[in-house]
Amino acid sequence: MIIFLFVIPICLAQFNESLIILNQSNFSNPAYAINLGLPGFGNVQKLTGFDYKQKHQVYKGCSAVYNGRMLLFGGDDVNPFIQYENPKSIGELVGCELQTLSTQLPHDMIGHSCSAVDAGVIMCGSVVEPQLCFMFQGNDNITAIQSTNQEHNYAAMVTFQHFGIIIAGDDQDFTGKSVEAFDGSSWNTIGEFPIVVDNHSAVVIGGNSGAIYVFGGWGATNAIDSTFLTQDGGSTWIKGPSLLTKRGQHRSVLVDGYIILHIGGRNATDVGIDVEMWTFQDAAGIARTQLEWHLPNFTLYPEPFLVDYKQAQKCV
């Protein structure tokens, strides 16, 4: 088995950031922040001063950072009768608020995935229209782009070598393994993922000369702990080390270039899963650590944003 390694210095003391985690499914779940600096590395704080504004759901939405703006697109709610559910919403994290833009998406977007490319933020795969795609290029510039060739509900999407890459996800028959790349005008099928999976996560390690890692997700009957990586954008895949905990409906976030935090999610028995940290090292390979960083029990489809530590403290 080949594992893609990187020679890097890991120095957590250099961090001056916090990871704000939005986890709003019914307007009762507060936002949280994880301190990524020293002292206090790993401290989890409830952000009692954070205001969701009660206009935008986080659950089953997707997030991206574009031109320095921390954005959230679409989303659903556990309770279909909730007053403020709006799957066309676009939210922006500003200070200690999730502000809702006046412009809306052209279509309901729920259970989709998204990623920022040079031209804007691509989003695809809503459960309402599983092949539908849009691009956000600014508050008043949201356009439809070509639909994907296959259905990609609850897929994972990353940007690699300037292409948007969408990976696997559910289809009507739960047989979807397609990997597609968006070249700026059209989607092209470039390969198949090794297994059928949805509700997984994906992260690019090492930039355009690195690799795409895909973590966990939901298999046929339960969450899985499998990971796979590709160095060619998705044509060929290699099996990687397993997660320490099976999880789906989670998020994975890259911090400091070569550290990944796996946040939230669930398996068949546990809804509250602690954060798992992966560090990509030298000859020692990949260190995997199950951290005792306790988030609320119902942390499903969370959306994480890296912010300055002092900014997060203003929301405590």
- Please write the tens of the pLDDT for every residue from 71-128: 999 987 555 555 556 789 899 999 999 998 999 999 999 999 999 999 999 999 998 8
Q: What is the pLDDT of residues 172-190, one digit of tens each?
A: 777 889 999 999 999 999 9
Residue 56 has pLDDT above 80, yes or no: no
* Model pLDDT, residue 271: 73
Residue 2 falls within a domain, yes or no? no
Residue 3 falls within a domain, yes or no? no
Q: Is 308 or 16 the better-scoring residue by pLDDT?
A: 308
What is the pLDDT confidence band of residue 7, given thresholds at 50, 70 and 90?
Answer: very low
User: Picking from 5-9, 127-131, 311-315, which range would have the lowest pLDDT averaged per residue?
Assistant: 5-9
* Model pLDDT, residue 37: 83
Among residues 37, 208, 67, the alpha carbon closest in space to that of 137 is found at: 67
Averaged pLDDT, 131-153: 94
The DSSP secondary structure of 45-102, one letter per residue, reads EEETT-B-TTS---TT-EEEEETTEEEEE----SSTT-TT--TT-EEEEETTEEEEPS
> For all residues of the chain together, what is the average pLDDT?
87
Residue 1 falls within a domain, yes or no? no
Domain count, the chain: 1
Give the integer Cα–Cα distance in Å for 265 and 251: 7
3-state secondary structure of 121: strand
Residue 6 falls within a domain, yes or no? no
Q: What is the pLDDT of residues 206-215, one digit of tens each?
A: 899 899 999 9
Residue 122 sits at φ, ψ, to 5 deg, of -90, 140
pTM exceeds 0.75, yes or no = yes
Residue 30 has pLDDT above 60, yes or no: yes
Query: Residue 119 sits in a domain of what CATH number?
Result: 2.120.10.80
Percent of the chain residues past pLDDT 70, beyond the cut: 88
User: Picking from 53-57, 86-90, 148-152, 157-161, which range would have the lowest pLDDT averaged per residue?
Assistant: 53-57
Give the integer Cα–Cα distance in Å for 245 and 226: 10
Give the dihedral sign, CA 210/242/122/134: positive
What is the pLDDT confidence band of residue 13, given thresholds at 50, 70 and 90?
Answer: very low
Domain that holds residue 181: 12-313
Residue 7 falls within a domain, yes or no? no
What is the pLDDT confidence band of residue 168, given thresholds at 50, 70 and 90?
Answer: very high
- Do the beta carbons of residue 152 and residue 176 sit within 8 Å? yes
Residue 128 falls within a domain, yes or no? yes
Residue 298 falls within a domain, yes or no? yes
* Model pLDDT, residue 1: 42
- Do the beta carbons of residue 58 and residue 299 sit within 8 Å? no
CA distances from 123 to 40, 62, 65, 133, 163 (A): 36, 8, 13, 6, 13
Averaged pLDDT, 310-314: 92
